[in-house]
Structure 1
Amino acid sequence: MSELSTAALDLEALRSFVLVARLGTLAAAADERHRTVSALSMQIKRLEARLDTRLLVRGARGMTTTPAGEALLGEARELLRQHDGLVARISGRGLRGRVRFGMPEDYATRIVGRLLPDYLARHPDVVLEAVTSTSGDLARRLERGELSLIVALDRPHQLLGGVPLWRTAPVWAGARELRMTPEQPLPLALHPVDCPYRYLGVEALAAIGRQWHAVFTSTSLHAVETAVESGLAVSILERDRLTPAMRELGEAEGLPALQGCEAQLHYGRRVSAASWPAVEALGEMLTQHLGRRG
C-alpha cells in the first residue's frame, strides 16, 4: 500500500490552511495562530507535498485557493468540526466564544424559529448575538468586523467567496382585487436602498422605461406586505410570501420579469481564534439546513 493512503494528514496544518484561505494572507493567519509566517508557510508546503497538489496561490487579492484547495477546504472544515466536537464531548469542554450573526428579515422566521434555538441547545456556553437588516447593510457590517457571519443575498453589494445556499424567486405582488394598466405610473412599497429586491425592481423598470413612484417605504417586511394587501402599492416579494389577499402581477400589468438572487453564507475575516470554532459550527448548521431550499 502506498504512503499516500496510509499516512495521516496533520490537523494543525489543516487548521492553518483553512485560516489562510479565510483571511487571505499568511501574515494574518500567522498572527491569529500566534505562529511565525515561515512556520505557517512550512505547514502549507508540507500539506501540499503530502497531497501532491498545489492548494494556495498568491494573487492581487492575496492568497486564494486553487480548485484542489477549494475542494479540500470544505472537507477540512468538516473534519476539524468533527474532531473538535469529539474532543469537546469527551473532555466535557464545549464550544465557547461570541458569535455575531446577521440575516435578512425575510428569512428570520425559519432561522430564528428553528436553527438558532437548536444551535444554542448544542452549545450553551456560546454567546450568540443575532440581528436582521438588509443584505447591503449586513455586507458592510461584515467587512467592518462588526459581524462574525451573515446570510445575505448577492445584490446590491456583492461579496466574494460566499457559500451558495439557495436561489430566490422574486415576483411582483399586488392586492387580489388590484386592477391597473401598463400606462399607469407604478405605485411601489419598498424597503430602503440596500434591499436587493428594491434594486432588482428598479433596475427592471428602468430597462423598459416604466414610470414609478414610492408610495410607501419601510424597513419592516410586515409593513410592506400590509401595504400590498391593502391595495396601497405594488411590491417585490418572495413568491412563497404571497398571501391569499395578494396575487402575482406580470405582463398583463406591463411589468417585466424579475431575475432571482443567490442567498450566500459569508464568514467575517476578523473573528478571534477563540470564537472561530463556534462561528464555524453555526455556519455548518446553516449550510446543512438552508442549502436544502435550492
Structure 2
Amino acid sequence: MTSPVDLEQLRTFVAIVDAGSFTKAAEDVFKTQSAVSMQIRRLEERLGTRLFERNGRAIEVTDSGQRLLSYARRMLTLSQETLSAFDENAMQGAVRIGLPDDYAERFLPEILARFSRSNPLVELSIACEPSSNLADAIAKGRLDVALVSDCGTDGAKLDIVRHEPLHFVASSAHEAHLKDIVPLAVGRADCKWRREGIEALERAGRRYNVLFSSWSAQVLISAVLAGLAIGVLPECALRPGMRILGERDGFPKLNHTAIGVLRSANASGAIVTALVDHIRDSLANLVPANAPAAQPIAQIHHLPETRIIRAQRGKPGSVAAGW
C-alpha cells in the first residue's frame, strides 16, 4: 500500500456508519447513491477488505470496518484542524455554555465532538447546573448558551430542540414501587417534573411521601438505584439497573418534557450561532426518544411481565413534606 488513503472516501465511509444507510449518507455528503457506492468499493479495493455486509435491507459494519472507523475519524479531524490552523477566517475565541448534569452525560459528547471538529480554535467553557440556575445565568449574561429543560424556566424564551418522555422509574433490583405509600426522589419544590409527578399520583389516587429532594439529577438517580425511592425522570436520565413504571404497576403515564436552548441577549456572534446550530443538529440526530430503539441505549431493564404486581391504591395526598 504505497498510495495514501483518499480523505473523501473516508468521509463517505464515516457518513455511512453514522447514518446507517448508503441512501442517507449520500444526502449528507451531497453525492448520488451510485457515487457513494463507488467510493466505498474503491476504498475496499484500496484496503483489500470488506467494510460493510448486507443483512437483508440493513447494512452492518464488518470487523475491518470497525477497525477503520477510529482511524478515519482521527484523520478527518486532523485534516479539519490543519485547514483551520491556516485559515485566517477561522473562528477563534471563547463561548460559555451551560447544561444540567444529566444532559451533560447524555448529550455533551456528541455536541463537543461536532463543534470541536468544525471549530478547533474556539475555547468552550462549560457549566453544569440545574435548568433554573442556568436560565438565571443567561438572563444575567454569565452564560452565552444554555441547554435546559422546561422544568424551572418559566417565562424564559425557549428554542425547543427535542422532546423526551417523562417516566416514573424504579430500581429493577428492588421493590420500592410496591409500597402502598410511594417514596419519591424528585427535584426541588419549583421543579415542573416534581409537580407533574405528584399531580399525576394524586389524580390516580396514590399516596406518596417525598423522601429525597435535590436539584442534582445524580442524587435522585442514586436514590432510585439504591431502591430507596421512585424517581420522575426524562428518558435521557435513565440508567442501567432502572425500570420504567407504567399503568400495569399502578403508575400513571406522564407527559413529554421539552428540551431547548436559551441564548443570552448579548451573545450574538458567529461562534454562538455555530454552537447553537451544532446543539440543534446533535440532538436531532440522536435516536428519537419515543422510538423502540431508545430504551436499549439507556440499557433499561424491565422485569418480565409475569413478575409485575399491581401496587395497591391508597388515598390521595402527601403523607409527609419533602426535604
Category of TM-score, reference length = shorter chain: 0.5 to 0.7
State the TM-score, normalizing by the size of structure 2. Answer: 0.55
Alignment map for 1:23-102 (pairs within 5 Å)? 92-102=88-98
Distance across 2 between alignment mates of 1:108 and 1:200? 23
The offset of 1:181, in angstroms, is 5.1
Q: Which of 141, 147, 154 pairs up with 1:145?
A: 141
Which blocks of at least 5 consecutive residues in structure 2 are unaligned? 1-83, 289-323
Q: How many residues are treated as equivalent by the alignment?
A: 203
Q: 1:192 is paired with a residue of what secondary structure?
A: coil
The offset of 1:121, in angstroms, is 4.3
Residue matched to 1:283: 276
Contact in 2 for aligned 1:135/1:194 (Cα 8 Å): no
Contact in 2 for aligned 1:153/1:261 (Cα 8 Å): yes
Amino acid at match of 2:168: W
Q: Which of 106, 118, 130 pairs up with 1:134?
A: 130
State the TM-score, normalizing by the size of structure 1. Answer: 0.60
Residue matched to 1:171: 167
Q: Which of 174, 194, 197 pairs up with 2:193?
A: 197
Q: Which of 208, 213, 224 pairs up with 1:212?
A: 208
Distance across 2 between alignment mates of 1:224 and 1:160? 25
Q: 2:272 is paired with a residue of what secondary structure?
A: helix
Residue matched to 1:292: 285
Residue matched to 2:48: none
The offset of 1:213, in angstroms, is 2.1
Distance across 1 between alignment mates of 2:207 and 2:216? 24
Alignment map for 1:198-277 (pairs within 5 Å)? 198-208=194-204, 210-239=206-235, 241-271=237-267, 276-277=269-270
Change over 3 Å in CA distance of 1:125–1:104 after alignment to 2: same
Distance across 2 between alignment mates of 1:148 and 1:93? 22
The offset of 1:172, in angstroms, is 0.7
Contact in 2 for aligned 1:154/1:264 (Cα 8 Å): yes
Contact in 2 for aligned 1:153/1:196 (Cα 8 Å): no
Q: 1:95 is paired with a residue of what secondary structure?
A: coil
Change over 3 Å in CA distance of 1:280–1:179 after alignment to 2: closer
Contact in 2 for aligned 1:155/1:199 (Cα 8 Å): no
Q: 1:281 is paired with a residue of what secondary structure?
A: helix
More off after superposition, 247-256 vs 141-150: 247-256
**CA root-mean-square deviation:** 2.8
The offset of 1:138, in angstroms, is 1.6
The offset of 1:223, in angstroms, is 3.1
Amino acid at match of 1:286: I
Q: 1:157 is paired with a residue of what secondary structure?
A: coil
Residue matched to 2:151: 155
Contact in 1 for aligned 2:103/2:236 (Cα 8 Å): no
Change over 3 Å in CA distance of 1:134–1:202 after alignment to 2: farther
Amino acid at match of 1:132: C
Change over 3 Å in CA distance of 1:242–1:263 after alignment to 2: closer
The answer as to 2:113 corresponding to 1:120 is: no
Deviations 1:151-194 (A, max 9, x none): 11223323555332111111111122416557x22211123345
Contact in 2 for aligned 1:166/1:291 (Cα 8 Å): yes
More off after superposition, 278-287 vs 247-256: 247-256
Deviations 1:225-284 (A, max 9, x none): 22212211110123465445332223344322211111112211022x5xx111111111
More off after superposition, 276-285 vs 94-103: 94-103
Amino acid at match of 2:284: G
Which blocks of at least 5 consecutive residues in structure 1 are unaligned? 1-87
Change over 3 Å in CA distance of 1:232–1:284 after alignment to 2: same
Contact in 1 for aligned 2:101/2:218 (Cα 8 Å): no
The offset of 1:102, in angstroms, is 1.2
Q: Which of 83, 91, 99 pairs up with 1:103?
A: 99
Greater fraction of residues in helix: 1
Contact in 1 for aligned 2:110/2:282 (Cα 8 Å): no
Amino acid at match of 1:115: I
